[in-house]
Structure 1
Amino acid sequence: MLGSTIPAASKRVAFRAGLASGRLLRMPGAFSPLVARIVAETGFDGVYISGAALSADLALPDIGLTTLTEVAARGGAIAQATDLPSLIDADTGFGEPLNAARTTRVLEQAGLAGLHLEDQVNPKRCGHLDNKAVVSVAEMLGRIRAAVGARTDPNFVVCARTDARAVEGLPAAIDRAKAYADAGADLIFAEALADESEFEAFRAGVDIPLLANMTEFGKSALLDAATLERLGFNVVIYPVTTLRIAMGAVEAGLRTIAADGTQAALVPAMQTRARLYELVDYADYNQFDSSVYNFTLGGADQ
Structure 2
Amino acid sequence: MADPRLKAALRAGEFIVAPGIFDMISARVADRMGFSALYATGYGTVASHLGVPDAGIATYTDMVSRMARFAQGSRTPVIADADTGYGGLLNVRHTVQGYEAGGVTAIQIEDQEVPKKCGHTPGRRVIPAEEMALKIEVAVEARKSDDFLIIARTDARTTLGLDEAIRRGRLYRKAGADIVFIESPESEEEMRRIGGEIDAPLLANNVDGGGRTPILSRETLAAIGYNIAIYPALGFLAVTRALEQAYAHLLREGDTNALPAGTLCDFAAMNELMGFPEVWAFDAKWAKAGQDGGGRQAAE
Give the structure-2-normalised TM-score.
0.92
Q: Decide which of 174, 186, 190 is 1:194's aligned counterpart.
A: 186
Deviation per CA, 1:192-227, whole angstroms, max 9, x where unpaired? Answer: 011221111111111111000000211001112222
Find the counterpart in structure 1 of residue 36 from structure 2: 45
Deviation string 1:67-90 (CA, Å, 9 cap, x unpaired) is 111211111111122211001110
What is aligned with 1:275? Answer: 269
For residue 286 of structure 1, the aligned residue among 280, 283, 288 is 280
Residue of structure 2 aligned with 1:55, choices 46, 52, 66:
46
Task: State the Cα distance separating 1:265 from its structure 2 match.
Answer: 2.5
Structure-1 residue corresponding to 2:220: 227
Percent identity between matched residues is 34
2:126 matches 1:131: no
Is 1:79 paired with 2:71? yes
Aligned to 1:240: 233
CA distance in structure 1 between the aligned counterparts of 2:275 and 2:259, rounded to whole angstroms = 25
Shift of 1:297: 5.7
SS state at 2:152 partner: strand
Shift of residue 267 of structure 1?
6.4
Partner of residue 19, structure 1? 10
Aligned-CA RMSD value: 1.5
Q: What CA distance in whole angstroms lies between the structure 2 residues aligned with 1:185 and 1:293?
A: 53
SS in 2 for 1:294: helix
Offset at residue 278 of structure 1 (A): 2.0
Distance 1:254 1:27, change over 3 A: same
In the alignment, structure 1 residue 251 sits paired with structure 2 residue 244 = yes
Contact 1:31 1:54 (C-alpha < 8 Å) held by counterparts: yes
Give distance in 2, aligned partners of 1:160 and 1:293: 52
Count of aligned pairs between the two proteins:
290
The alignment status of 1:66 with 2:58, answered yes or no, reads yes
Corresponding letter in the other structure for 1:290: A
Q: Deviation at 1:18?
A: 1.5
Cα distance in 1 between the residues matched to 2:143 and 2:260: 47
1:102 and 1:210 map into 2 onto residues whose CA distance is 25
2:215 is the counterpart of 1:215: no
**Which amino acid is 1:236 matched to?**
A
Deviations along 1:260-282, one digit per CA (max 9) or x if unpaired, are 11122336310111111221232
CA–CA separation in structure 2 for the residues paired with 1:180 and 1:115 = 14
Once the two structures are TM-superposed, the CA of residue 61 in structure 1 deviates from its matched residue by 0.7
Offset at 1:103?
0.5
Post-superposition CA distance 1:98-150 (Å, at most 9, x none): 10110000111111001110011111111111221111011101211111111
Corresponding residue of 2:98:
106
Provide the C-alpha distance between the structure 2 equivalents of 1:19 and 1:71, rounded to a whole number of angstroms: 26
1:145 counterpart residue number: 137
Residue type at the aligned position of 2:256 = Q
* 8 A contact 2:196–2:224 mirrored in 1: no
Contact 2:39 2:79 in 1 (8 A): yes
SS in 2 for 1:48: strand
Matched, 1:92 2:87: no
Give the 3-state SS of the residue equivalent to 2:258 in structure 1: helix
Uncovered stretches (5+) of structure 2, i.e. residues with no partner: none
Kept in 2: contact 1:89–1:115 (CA 8 A): yes
Measured after TM superposition, the shift of residue 288 of structure 1 is 2.8
Letter in 2 for 1:193: P
1:117 correspondence with 2:109:
yes
Gaps of 5+ in 1: 1-7
Query: Which residue of 256, 264, 278 corresponds with 1:263?
Result: 256
157-166 or 223-232: which moved more? 223-232
Give the Cα separation in 2 of the matches to 1:186 and 1:60.
Answer: 31
